[in-house]
Amino acid sequence: MRLLVLILCALVLLSFYKRNDFPDGQVLVEQVLHEPAQTASYKDPFSIEFSDHQYTVVPKFRYELYGLVVSYRHHDGDNQLHKSWGDYINMADICVVWQDNATSPFLNDFKFWNGQFTCNFQPTSDEAWRSFKLNQISNNHLISESSHIRSKVSKLKIGDQIRISGWLSEYSNELGGKRGTSTNREDTGNGACETIYVERFEVLQSSNNPWRITFYGSLALLILLAVVYFFTPYKPR
């Protein structure tokens, strides 16, 4: 029993550490191998109401993005600058890669993480950095008042292959808060994020990382053993 518990503890720790690894030889949907599609098309500015705030959305370009999720951060509007700006429609920041970056054998040599408004990445080898293309990664501010879309986005996982369709947009609210958008993939730094008013969001292929399954399975078994141990009547030897 003690040996089994030790093995499960080690397995939980190892699988937790590797739960967001990108599997070797993962199959990507065809569209992830192409760059995002940005189309010049006109749509009138429009107003939406969400969480007792009024927002004006100004569409700039029609936009469709297929990508592999490398990091994300959900927002609820009740924390940090989102709260002070009254920004409740920015439901998440999602960092994705596509084309050569998505198929790179060095993806696991990078650490990806989202700040409050940014996607950050750090290579662990020079070879990984030399292979990486800065115009094939983007951080995307996703905005929508749709409960259906927001629910879908809330279930996102690292390693998912997704499609986002909507409009690159600027938006503002009645408190004076305003956010713009990048309109090309070549810029970097402040202002380089795409702000997308989402009309359609799909997970085309969920992450198939076996370590994530191992983590939940071994953790559940460890909890079950703990419950059995504490509720089994004591029998003196």
- Assign residue 125 the CATH number of its domain: 2.40.50.140
In this prediction, residue 237 carries a pLDDT of: 61
Among 31-40, 79-88, 190-199, 223-232, the minimum mean pLDDT is found in 223-232
How many Å apart are CA 219 and CA 225, to the nearest integer? 10
3-class state of residue 119 by DSSP: strand
- At residue 234 the predicted structure's pLDDT band, cuts being 50, 70 and 90, is low
Total domains, the chain: 2
Q: Are strands 137-143 and 194-205 parallel, antiparallel or unpaired?
A: parallel
Provide mean pLDDT across the span 77-98.
88
Q: Spell out the residues 6+ positions from residue 113 whose beta carbon is closer than 8 angstroms to its own.
A: 71, 119, 120, 121
How many Å apart are CA 165 and CA 174, to the nearest integer? 26
Q: Are residues 220 and 199 in the same domain?
A: no
Q: Are residues 200 and 221 in the same domain?
A: no
Amino acid at 94: I
Q: Are residues 134 and 98 in the same domain?
A: yes
Asked if residue 193 lies in contact with residue 81, where contact means CB atoms within 8 angstroms, the answer is no
Rounded to 5°, the CA angle 104-108-113 comes to: 110
Beta partners for residue 152, in sequence order: none
- Asked if pLDDT for residue 133 goes beyond 80, the answer is yes
Q: Are residues 88 and 192 in the same domain?
A: yes
Q: Are residues 92 and 104 in the same domain?
A: yes
Q: What is the pTM of this model?
A: 0.87
Closest C-alpha to 50, from 199, 154, 150: 150
Q: Are residues 167 and 216 in the same domain?
A: no
How many Å apart are CA 65 and CA 61, to the nearest integer? 12
Q: Spell out the residues 6+ positions from residue 86 whose beta carbon is closer than 8 angstroms to its own.
A: 53, 77, 173, 174, 175, 177
Q: pLDDT for 1-33, tens place per residue?
A: 677 777 778 877 877 777 778 887 788 999 999
- Asked if pLDDT for residue 92 goes beyond 80, the answer is yes
Q: N- to C-terminal Cα distance for the chain?
A: 17
How many Å apart are CA 99 and CA 107, to the nearest integer? 12
How many Å apart are CA 116 and CA 114, to the nearest integer? 7
How many CB atoms are located within 10 Å of the residue 229 CB? 10
The residue ranking higher by pLDDT, 171 or 215, is: 171
The whole domain housing 163 covers 26-207
Residue 161 lies in a domain: yes
In this prediction, residue 210 carries a pLDDT of: 74
Among 24-33, 78-87, 120-129, the minimum mean pLDDT is found in 78-87
The residue ranking higher by pLDDT, 208 or 151, is: 151
Q: Are residues 147 and 97 in the same domain?
A: yes
The residue ranking higher by pLDDT, 137 or 211, is: 137
Q: Are residues 4 and 42 in the same domain?
A: no
- Asked if pLDDT for residue 181 goes beyond 90, the answer is yes
* SS3 labels along 9-55: HHHHHHHHHCCCCCCCCCCCCHHHHCCCEEECCCCCCEEEEECCEEE
